[in-house]
Structure 1
């Protein structure tokens, strides 16, 4: 209970106000969440771009295309 500043719950909770832990650090939590979210999107963008670039190179490999056409 020390994280919210009360030592006893024997009070009228209507007068207490917020009773969740880490009160006052909401902006820090939001900032960390946004930074994590943007970082995750950046990592995904880089990985997917690399994957698509490799797929494009494989699809445009003329020798493999020619071999697959000659088979049929």
Structure 2
């Protein structure tokens, strides 16, 4: 099964052009990759923010403030 439309590799590859799978989907893959990247960072930002808010209410407020100053 070929994903580039060639049944035989017995051709001059200089005339073939791109020989990687899923040719023609480069723009779609970039859009999906960037969307996933932004979605992942948004989820991480929200989860870490919730974690830090929860940590503020646990234990001594001075210790938490001192720990957060280092970072």
- Match of 2:13, SS state, is coil
Task: For 1:7 and 1:57, locate their aligned partners in 2 and report how far apart those are by CA, in whole Å.
Answer: 65
- Match of 1:19, SS state, is coil
Task: For 1:2 and 1:56, locate their aligned partners in 2 and report how far apart those are by CA, in whole Å.
Answer: 56
Q: CA deviation at 1:2?
A: 2.8
**TM-score (normalised: structure 2):** 0.76
How do 1:1-72 and structure 2 match up within 5 A?
1-58=1-58, 59-60=60-61
Task: For 1:56 and 1:14, locate their aligned partners in 2 and report how far apart those are by CA, in whole Å.
Answer: 63
**TM-score (normalised: structure 1):** 0.75
Equivalent residue pairs, number: 60
State the 4+ residue runs in structure 1 displaced beyond 3 angstroms. Answer: none
Alpha-carbon deviations, 1:1-51, whole Å to 9, x = none?
A: 531111211110111110001000001111110111011101100110011
Match of 1:66 in 2: none
Superposition RMSD in Å: 1.2
- Match of 1:50, SS state, is helix
Consecutive unaligned residues in structure 1, runs of 5 or more: 61-72
